[in-house]
Amino acid sequence: MPRKLILCRCEDVTADDVAHAVATGFQSLEEVKRYTGFGTGPCQGKECLVAIALAVARATSLPVTSLRAFTARAPLSPTELKQFAALAEEPEPGAALSK
């Protein structure tokens, strides 16, 4: 086994991180997600959910079918920072009137 087994590439969550989360007392996928940050990157858990669920099931000795997937939250696709930067460049309504 490699020294560092990465389960979530977006947030750099390793198998050891998941094992530590379970040892700390986090038993559900939602709790492990909040503790480690897996599933919050650009893929929104599409690439790592199965691997994390298997790791949690292994660490908790629970059947993987008993683990409920977390609820996906918006944004479902990444937003480029330049889109937010463009918002800052637009003048605020009424700004010309105050000069």
Give residue 66's pLDDT: 85
DSSP letters, 19-68, are HHHHHHT--SHHHHHHHH-TT-STTTTTTTHHHHHHHHHHHHT--GGGSP
**Entry pTM:** 0.67
Q: Report residue 67's pLDDT band, with 50, 70 and 90 as the boundaries.
A: confident
Residues 6 or more apart in contact with residue 1 via CB below 8 angstroms = none
Give residue 5's pLDDT: 93
pLDDT, tens digit, 9 for 90 and up, residues 21-65: 999 999 999 999 999 999 988 888 889 999 999 999 999 998 888
Q: Are 36 and 26 in contact (CB under 8 A)?
A: no
Structural domains of the chain ordered from first start: 6-74 (1.10.10.1100)
Mean pLDDT of the chain: 84
Our CA angle for 64, 18, 72, nearest 5°, is 65
Q: Is the pLDDT of residue 9 over 90?
A: yes
